[in-house]
Amino acid sequence: MSQVLAPILPVLAAIGLMLANGVVLIYMLRKVLGHLHLRLGPVHVGPKGIVQTTADVLKLLSKEDIRPNGVDRWMYVLAPVVVFVPSLMAYAALPFSETLRITRLDTGLLYTFAVLSVVPLGVIMAGWSSANKYALIGALRAAAQQVAYEVPLLLSVLPVVMIVGSMDLAEIVAFQTGVWLGVVPRWFVVLLIPSFVIFMIAALCELNQTPFDMSEAESELVSGFATEYSSMKFGLIFLSEFSNSFVISALAVTLFFGGWTLPFVPDSVLAPIAPVVFVLKTYIGIFVFMWIRGTLPRVRIDHLMNLGWKWLIPISLAWLMLVGVVVKLVAPGGVA
Amino acid sequence: MLPDTTVVKTVLTGVARAEVTATSLGVVVRVPHEDTAAVLSALKSSDLGFVMLVDLLGTDTDEDVELTYHLRSFARDEELYVKCSLPHDGVLHSVWNVYASALLPERETAELFGLTLAGHPNPARLLTTDGEQPLLRRSVPIRTLKEVRDR
Amino acid sequence: MTDPRDTVLTHALQAEGTFDPGRAPAGIKRIPSGVDGLATEHLVVNIGPQHPSTHGVLRLVAELDGEEVMNVEVAVGYLHRGIEKLGEHRRYHQLGTLMDRGDYVSGIHGELAAALAAEQLLEVEVPPRGQWLRSLMSEVNRIASHLVWFGTFGLDCGAMGQFLYAMREREALLDVLESVTGQRMMFNYVRPGGVLDDITPDAEQKLRTFLRTIDSYLDEHHALLGGNEIFQKRVRGVGVIDRETGLAFGLTGANLRGSGVPYDVRRDKPYAAYTELDFDVPLGATGDAWDRYLVRMEEMRQAARMCRQCIEGLPEGDVMAKVPRVLRPPAGETYACVESPRGELGVHLVADGSDTPYRFHYRAPSLFAMQVLEEILPGHLLADAIMLIGSVDIVLGEIDR
């Protein structure tokens, strides 16, 4: 394989994965929300409506790209890219199995969070440049929300890092193989329930999902920061949203549910199906996100801020300290 | 329930030249338009306790526009109608200081009968656009069925 | 980001004293703008006429300080069809058709008010079965209408599921109404002198099935939305309309009862068969959005209770009195009102002895519910403003007429 092609292939694979994922997830969202809401979701295009999303993508691609008067031109064009590219980059460190991944990073966890935290910047750019008041309010909400929730999100995963002693996602997964007492999987969700709960709440917020879909809030802000976007610019924003929910769910699986591993299953059986296990676990996580989205009402912005600053951050700090003390007492030289 | 006409008369003595009659509608107090606010305010603060303005409507009687203020007392479970007349190009004096519920109905009435609204915090049109005829005047025609069909 | 084309606000109550539009409700602390000498300005947002949560075509011109609503002005008229003017050119039988198009979510009540007004002028006695059917259909329509309110209220709070769950129940009721009246929306069922047609066995069957399950369904709905902590935090203590404000602004129906005023047209000025029906009038304590929510939820239960009594106690006989084909009431003036799901829906008729009304006026409860928005919204957050539009349950069709 040529010197040029070899590094490019994984990137292309990531793009392919992201697009395919988007198509599948949009279909899944419609079907899941549909059935939660006592309706059927798409049924007409293709058997059981499975081609509906493809048709929608084609529709989005063929639509006129409208740029309203008065927008800040460069920022307006750049914003969807700033939203889209980081969500694509976030795939880089995800370990689908022991061998299948785009790249192995020693600081995979940090990298993924760092990249994902660029997304709200694109949201703010989109809202600010749109010359639309709803978009502006949406963008400002996104800014406030990000500041309040990035911190607990990061703090919630630190106990995992402290115990494993590494930020390499593969090592975190490797640490979780096997069982305790012969029955309980060695998953961090068992050990670190508070971390997991904080992670889920902060992740919902990070994903802009109901009940924390502040920057979109379709019943208040029409479509929030994305109000003025059309055609594939909107498509990119839309796609990145689904891609993010895949990445966050994959992170939850990696950090708390043992990644590609399954307890009680020998390695020889697991090895060929590891990526499938990983994706399935991730999709279950996404299903939970959708379930929440279909059921709960939206939180008010000041309640959201209260929850973030007055509850999640102090709790996660206290929990972090507790875990730190325990780790120091149990294994003074570090667990690893 | 109908209020006692003599009681209403007593309340309004000294406030305005009021003519109290019992009609098919109920007990109707007829007053000059300039005294409406004073009369309503007296009725509201009196023992009769007409605390709520249920409705406000105009009627074009061909000679003038007749305004009807529909009042209700919860304490005595009584209803009272205060009526006054205005010329077609008259000025409708707002009573929103007495009953805040008159705010929008007054705008609507003034607009649909072509009256000028005075003393109102926001005397803009409510339902129709500028330049529209005062629709509820009898002299403003609507399209007949034949005209609509032949359109 | 303010646009020079934006409407300059003239808040209704700012001009002169008595009401303080800028007062912040308890629990919301106002931060002064322009901290550190930075220039700030208020953002004027046109909420509507095309907006997902304005329940029709309502436009709110809202002045925002950050997320907080400082001032709001309602702009209506987008649905103005001149129903009152048209009514002056229609015969008395045809008024119901116009009323259907006023409050299009609960057509039966509008028709009933028009029919009652015509009957008062004509002094027609409606046969008992007609009276009971009027009550029955009113209550069926009330549950259907409250379910629309419930669903859209959930939608305003961001809970999309509630809307579709409410539609499931409403569908059964619309089937009943369709079976009896032939229509799902513009019923044209209540006529001066009685009702159009008797209840069909099919409708009765469907209604009985529905009434068996509705209470448990309502419990489920209440548990899912009302029992939700997020929802409760959003509605409790928010949008308080106290007793005095409610009366001053002419609120009626569930909005006024939410503020603790025990007034219900069905009980206090009974019409149709309500004197013979047994029902409770639920009351709120503080007048916040939560109270209005609870009052409406309870009203649905009470309406179901009345439906049961109506089905069981439906007397035999004609559904329609003998009335001439063309009604010519003697000259006179009258006011008739019914308790529609939105409040006191009144029809003021002036007759001149001809076959058309001289003046036909429609007292729309939503109009009064809407003008209180100008008073209560300032001081709330934008999200609450949207929720509060839902909580007073307005239908733009009857505001604009």
Q: Which of C14, C76, C348 to mutate to test the interface with B (most CBs of B within 10 A)?
A: C348
pLDDT of A32-68, one tens digit each?
A: 988 988 888 888 888 888 888 888 888 888 888 888 8
* Domain interval for residue C30: 6-75
Q: Does the beta-carbon distance from A37 to C161 stay under 8 Å?
A: yes
Across the interface, of B54, B97, B112, the residue whose CB is closest to C16 is: B97
Residue A333's pLDDT is 55
Q: Taking the alpha carbons of A78, A83, A88, A89 in that order, is the dihedral positive or negative?
A: positive
Burial C261-287 (b: 16+ CB within 10 A, else e): bebbbbeebebbbbeebebebbbbebb
Is A292's pLDDT higher than 80?
Answer: yes
Which residue of chain C comes nearest to B77, CA vs CA? C268
Q: How far apart are CA C70 and CA C49, in angstroms?
A: 20
By Cβ distance, the residue of B24, B51, B60 closest to C332 is B24
Question: Which residue in B has a C-alpha nearest to residue C8's C-alpha?
Answer: B122
Query: pLDDT-derived band of residue C70, with 50, 70 and 90 as boundaries?
Result: confident
Q: Tell me, what's the pLDDT at C17?
A: 35
The region that residue C317 occupies, defined by phi over 0 for left and psi between -120 and 50 for alpha, beta otherwise, is left
Residues of C in contact with A143 (CB under 8 A): none
pLDDT of residue C138: 92
pLDDT 10s digits, C223-262:
888 888 888 888 888 888 888 888 888 899 888 888 888 8
Q: What percent of chain C has pLDDT over 90?
A: 10
What's CA C300's distance to the chain center, in Å? Answer: 13
Shared-domain flag, residues C128 and C47: no
Euclidean distance between CA atoms A29 and A238, whole angstroms: 12
Residue among B105, B121, B129 minimizing CB distance to C12: B121
Across residues B56-82, what is the average pLDDT?
A: 87
- pLDDT, mean of residues C371-399: 87
Q: How confident is the model at residue A169 (pLDDT cuts 50, 70, 90)?
A: confident
Residue of C nearest to A218 (CA): C52
Residue C21 has pLDDT above 50, yes or no: no
Q: Do C130 and C152 reside in the same domain of the chain?
A: yes
Interface touch C334/B55, C-beta < 8 Å: no
Chains touching C (3+ CB pairs < 8 Å): A, B
Predicted local distance difference test score (pLDDT) of residue C39:
65
Of A279-293, C46-60, C85-99, C331-345, the one with minimum mean pLDDT is C46-60
A146 pLDDT more than 60: yes
Q: Are A295 and C386 in contact (CB < 8 Å)?
A: no
Question: d(Cα B116, Cα B123) in Å, to the nearest integer?
Answer: 8
Instruction: Please indicate, yes or no, whether residues C23 and C154 belong to a single structural domain of this protein.
Output: no
Domain match, C195 and C330 both: yes
Instruction: Find residues 76-115 of chain C whose CB sits inside 8 Å of chain B.
Output: 76-77, 80, 82, 84-86, 89
Cα–Cα distance measured from residue A90 to residue A15, given in angstroms and rounded to the nearest whole number: 11
H runs (alpha helix) in A167-230:
169-175, 188-191, 193-206, 218-221
Of the two residues C270 and C26, the one the predictor is more confident about is C270
> Are the beta carbons of B84 and B6 closer than 8 angstroms?
no
What's the pLDDT at A100? Answer: 73
CB-based contact C294:C281 (threshold 8 Å):
no
Query: Which of A147-151, C5-9, C134-138, C356-360 is the least confident region?
Result: C5-9
Report chain A residues whose CB lies below 8 A from the CB of C159.
295-298
Q: In the predicted model, what is the mean pLDDT of chain C? A: 83
The span from the CA of A156 to the CA of A113, in Å, is 12
Going by pLDDT thresholds of 50, 70 and 90, the confidence category of residue C34 is low
Which residue of chain C comes nearest to B140, CA vs CA?
C85
- Residue to substitute from C333, C376, C396, interface B, most B β-carbons within 10 A: C333
CB contact under 8 A, C161 and A39: no
**For all residues of chain A together, what is the average pLDDT?**
84
CB contact under 8 A, B54 and C249: no
Instruction: Judge: B142–C82 Cβ closer than 8 Å, yes or no.
Output: yes
- CATH no. for residue C347? 1.10.645.10
CA A99 to CA A93: how far, in whole Å? 12
pLDDT of residue C35: 58
pLDDT, mean of residues A212-231: 79
What is the average per-residue pLDDT within B108-120?
Answer: 87
The confidence score (pLDDT) of residue C146 equals 92
How far apart CA A4 and CA A15 sit, in angstroms, is 17
Do C and A make contact, counting contact as 3+ CB pairs within 8 angstroms? yes
Residue of higher predicted confidence among B75 and C313: C313
Q: Considering the domain boundaries, does residue C315 fall inside one? A: yes
C-chain residues near A300 (CB < 8 A): 233-234, 381, 383-384
Would you say residue A16 has pLDDT above 50? yes
The reply to whether B127 touches chain C by the CB within 8 Å rule is yes
C273 and C246 co-located in one domain: yes
Q: Is B5 in the C-facing interface, judged by CB distances under 8 Å?
A: no
**pLDDT top residue among A210 and C5:** A210
- pLDDT surpasses 70 at C350: yes
What type of residue is A217? A
**Residue C143: predicted pLDDT:** 92
If one looks up domain B5-150 in CATH, what number appears?
3.30.460.80
- What is the pLDDT confidence band of residue C5, given thresholds at 50, 70 and 90? very low
Domain shared by C58 and C183, yes or no? no
pLDDT value of residue B29: 86
Task: Tell me the C-alpha distance between C132 and C337, whole Å.
Answer: 17
Give me the amino acid identity at A316: S
Q: Return the domain boundaries, chain B.
A: 5-150
Q: Could you read off the pLDDT of A74-110 as tens digits, one per residue?
A: 888 888 889 888 888 888 888 887 777 777 788 888 8
Chain B CB within 8 Å of residue C263 CB: yes
pLDDT band for position C347 (cuts 50, 70, 90): very high
**How buried is A198 (Cβ within 10 angstroms: 0-12 exposed, 13-18 middle, 19+ buried)?**
buried
Instruction: Indicate yes or no: CB of C230 within 8 angstroms of CB of A137.
Output: no
In this structure, the answer to whether residues C275 and C375 fall within a common structural domain is: yes
Chain A neighbors of C1, CB-CB under 8 A: 131, 133, 136
The verdict on C63 and C177 lying in the same domain is: no
State the pLDDT at residue C144: 92
CB A68 within 8 A of CB A228: yes
Average pLDDT over residues A3-10: 78
Q: What is the mean pLDDT of residues C166-193?
A: 89
Nearest alpha-carbon partner for B139 in B106, B107, B112, B118: B112
**Among A266, A246, A210, CA closest to A25:** A246
- Does residue B136 belong to the interface with chain C, where contact is any CB pair within 8 Å? yes
- Give the model confidence (pLDDT) of C105-127 as tens digits: 888 999 999 999 999 888 888 99
Touching status, chains B and C (3+ beta-carbon pairs under 8 Å): yes
Domain boundaries, chain A: 66-330
Task: Using a CB–CB cutoff of 8 Å, tell me whether C14 touches chain A.
Answer: no
What is the pLDDT confidence band of residue B28, given thresholds at 50, 70 and 90? confident
Q: Answer whether residue C173 shows pLDDT above 70.
A: yes
Whether C335 contacts chain B with CB within 8 A: yes
Do A210 and C383 lie within an 8 Å CB cutoff?
no
Residues of C in Cβ contact (< 8 Å) with A294: 160-161
Instruction: Decide: A157 and A109 in contact? Cβ < 8 Å.
Output: yes
* C381–A219 C-beta distance less than 8 A: no
Phi, psi (deg, nearest 5) at residue C122:
-80, -15
CA distance readout (Å), C374 to B70, B76, B97, C260, C350: 23, 30, 15, 21, 32
The predicted structure's pLDDT at residue A332: 58
C89 interfaces chain A, CB cutoff of 8 Å: no
A219 CA: distance to closest CA in chain C (Å): 5
Average pLDDT for residues B50-57, to the nearest whole number?
88
Give yes or no: residues C31 and C96 share one domain.
no
- Asked if the structure places residue C114 within a domain, the reply is yes
Region label for A46, one of left (φ > 0), alpha (ψ between -120 and 50) or beta (otherwise)? left
pLDDT at C33 over 70: no
Q: Do C80 and B59 touch (CB under 8 A)?
A: no
Q: Which of A36, A72, A133 to mutate to test the interface with C (most CBs of C within 10 A)?
A: A133
Which residue type does C110 have? G
Residue B100: pLDDT above 60?
Answer: yes
Those chains having 3 or more beta-carbon pairs within 8 angstroms of chain B are C
User: What is the count of structural domains for chain C?
Assistant: 2
> Does the pLDDT value for residue C346 go beyond 60?
yes
Q: Which residues of A59-68 are buried (b: 16+ CB within 10 A; e: fewer)?
A: ebeeeeeeee
Q: What is the Cα–Cα distance from C122 to C157, expressed in whole angstroms?
A: 47
**3-state helix/strand/coil string of A93-118:** CCCCCCCCCCCCCCCHHHHHHHHHCC
Eight-state DSSP code of residue A308: I
Which residues in C lie closer than 8 A to residue B100 (C-beta atoms)? Answer: 13, 18-19, 248-250, 371, 375
C-alpha distance from B59 to closest chain C C-alpha (Å): 6
The packing angle between helices C382-391 and C365-376, to 10°, is: 160
Nearest CB to C248: which of B24, B99, B105? Answer: B99
Chain A residue numbers touching C388 (CB-CB < 8 A): none
Contacting residues of C for A213, CB less than 8 Å apart: 158
- Say yes or no for a CB contact (<8 Å) between C158 and A295: no
Residue B63 tokens read as 């000679």
Q: Residue A159's CB: how many other CB atoms inside 10 A?
A: 26
**In this complex, do C158 and A296 lie within 8 Å of one another by their Cβ atoms?**
yes
Residue C343 parent element (H or E): strand C343-351
User: In angstroms, what separates the C-alpha of C186 from chain B's closest C-alpha?
Assistant: 21
- Greatest mean pLDDT among A180-184, A261-265, B83-87 lies in B83-87
* Residue A296 to residue C159, Cβ atoms within 8 A: yes
* C1 occurs within a structural domain: no
What share of chain C in percent tops pLDDT 70?
90
Q: Is C382 on the interface with A (CB under 8 A)?
A: yes
Closest Cα in chain A to C51: A222
Does the structure show a pLDDT above 80 at A182?
no
The per-residue pLDDT for C36 is: 62
Q: Which of C53, C75, C97 is the last residue of a domain?
A: C75
Assign C102 a pLDDT band (cuts: 50, 70, 90).
confident
Assign A265 a pLDDT band (cuts: 50, 70, 90): confident
Beta-carbon separation of B127 and C348 below 8 A = no
Do at least 3 CB pairs under 8 Å connect A with B?
no
Does residue C344 sit at the B interface (CB-CB below 8 Å)? yes
Per-residue pLDDT at C142:
92
Nearest CA in chain A to C156: A219
> Are the beta carbons of C80 and B74 separated by less than 8 Å?
no
